[in-house]
Amino acid sequence: MHSEAAIREPLILGHKTYHDITTDIVGPIENKAPRGWYILTTIAALIAAYGVGCILYLIGTGIGTWGLNKTVDWAWDITNFVWWVGIGHAGTLISAVLLLFRQKWRMAINRSAEAMTIFAVIMAGTFPMIHMGRIWMAYWVFPLPNQLGSLWTNFNSPLLWDVFAISTYFSVSLVFWYIGLIPDFATIRDRLTKPRMKRIYSILSFGWTGNAKAWTRFEEVSLVLAGVATPLVFSVHSVVSMDFATSIVPGWHTTIFPPYFVAGAVFSGFAMVQTLLLVMRKVMKLENYITVKHVEYMNIIIIVTGSIVGVAYITELFISWYSGVEYESYAFINRATGPYWWAYWSMMTCNVISPQIFWFRKLRRHLGFTFFMSIIVNIGMWFERFVIIVTSLHRDYLPSAWLQFHPTWVDVGIFLGTIGIFFTLYLLFARYFPVVALNEMKSILKVSGESYKNQAAAQHHH
């Protein structure tokens, strides 16, 4: 049996048995939901309903209800799109990249991080679709036979690459998530006694048996899916960055964009995972599974990716001067000192300076501080996209065309609405799905569980 160094902190605290893991994680699904869940879900659903209303108003009236103008023709919609796609990067990174690196701490958080990924990508996908104006023609993004020429989609365009990247990413993440869920649904199925619930989980569990061959196949599928999902994660945000980088707009036209966007995506994704998990571990009493060590590991990733983002910002700034291209250097001087200076400096403070505080061990293991920081990082990452998009556009080559962007209530309503929909979906997930990959957790119990580790250490000393 694989053994782990005694010096490593245990990943499962307390004296747990296999059965305890099942009870701890399936229990909240079987019992009545706490009142807080109903309150939170109602608030989230109300915000979601308002957002849906704004979207319907937008579709009914037209894109003119947004604050766009002839100079700033891309603003909050694409900012929100990139922000949500970025958030949607942590889940698959945790489950795929950390699986390939055999990081066992991923097991406690991968399920909920992947759920977050899926919901965030749904929110991201909403924005390009509603920005089309005629959403009923959204299927035109696919190369379908038609009687218009025949007219095909342009495979040279990064916007089309995005269609393929996002839809592949969404569907592959969904399948990866669901394949992991099947054995856990089977556990719920075999425990439940109420016939209606049992029937539902029986359908969801696809008749899982857990025999030797099924587990062999399960492990092979997980490994290969992780292998193909890893380059996929990196490709998705690279392609998103190319929506900007392949254009000739000063401020967008930079080769540094793909790695810089990927790092930023992982950075904001982990921040959102922290926001959600810090609340969930408390409310659902999962402190023994999602431990302070898990929070610390994620904070370390936040420092690393935050530093990469910081280096990218400074490189961009340096190159804009070093290139000697007037337009390029103006774009960056304008970002830092122009009318949007406050957005630029919010971004710098939230993304570059504040994560460096996590070098203090005490603070990166402090739950309240981590929660606060996770919100700061997400605000910073929203501003990053706003800065890249709006400040590069609002002053173009003709000073007579220089304009400011002012969001309308529809812009704000749709953005808030997507946050509402996201939290509604996440709360439903937390109520009805096993939020921790419980069967995976059982496989590390006797290696990384606190009581078992200490036993092994005690035996070693004799």
Enumerate binding residues for other proteins (CB under 8 A): 1-2, 17-19, 22, 143, 149-156, 158, 160-161, 164-165, 167-168, 171-172, 175-176, 179, 182-183, 186-187, 189-191, 202-221, 223-225, 228-229, 231-232, 235, 239, 242, 439-440, 442-443, 446
Nearest to other proteins of 225, 388 (CB atom): 225
Q: State the sign of the Cα–Cα–Cα–Cα dihedral 327, 333, 335, 337.
A: negative
CB 452 within 8 A of CB 8: no
Nearest to other proteins of 230, 346 (CB atom): 230
Nearest to other proteins of 191, 253 (CB atom): 191
**Residues facing residue 449 across a β-bridge:** 12
CB of 207 to other proteins, least distance (A): 3
Q: What backbone torsions phi and psi does residue 171 show, to the nearest 5 degrees? A: -70, -35
**How far is it, in rounded angstroms, from Cα 311 to Cα 317?**
10
Rounded to 10°, the helix 76-87/212-245 angle is 150
Q: What backbone torsions phi and psi does residue 449 show, to the nearest 5 degrees? A: -70, 145
CB of 243 to other proteins, least distance (A): 11
SS3 (DSSP) at 324: coil
CB of 217 to other proteins, least distance (A): 5
CB of 144 to other proteins, least distance (A): 10
Nearest to other proteins of 127, 176 (CB atom): 176
Spell out a b/e string for 370-391, using b for 16 or more CB atoms within 10 Å of the CB, else e: bbebbebbbbbbbbbbbbbbbb
CB 301 within 8 A of CB 270: yes
Rounded to 10°, the helix 367-386/341-348 angle is 140
Nearest to other proteins of 76, 176 (CB atom): 176
Nearest to other proteins of 181, 348 (CB atom): 181
CB of 97 to other proteins, least distance (A): 15
Nearest to other proteins of 201, 270 (CB atom): 201
CB of 236 to other proteins, least distance (A): 9
CB of 430 to other proteins, least distance (A): 21
Nearest to other proteins of 209, 337 (CB atom): 209
Residues contacting residue 49 through CB under 8 Å, at least 6 positions apart: 420
**How far is it, in rounded angstroms, from Cα 407 to Cα 389?**
14
Q: In whole angstroms, what separates CA 413 from the centre of its chain?
A: 21
Nearest to other proteins of 39, 203 (CB atom): 203
CB of 389 to other proteins, least distance (A): 21
Burial class of 218 by CB neighbour count within 10 A (0 to 12, 13 to 18, 19+): middle
**How far is it, in rounded angstroms, from Cα 302 to Cα 300?**
5
Burial class of 180 by CB neighbour count within 10 A (0 to 12, 13 to 18, 19+): buried
Q: What backbone torsions phi and psi does residue 155 show, to the nearest 5 degrees? A: -75, 0
Nearest to other proteins of 2, 282 (CB atom): 2
Q: What backbone torsions phi and psi does residue 12 show, to the nearest 5 degrees? A: -125, 120
Nearest to other proteins of 26, 40 (CB atom): 26
CB of 83 to other proteins, least distance (A): 22
Q: Is the peptide bond prior to 150 cis by the omega test (within 30 degrees of 0)?
A: yes
CB of 285 to other proteins, least distance (A): 19
CB of 32 to other proteins, least distance (A): 22
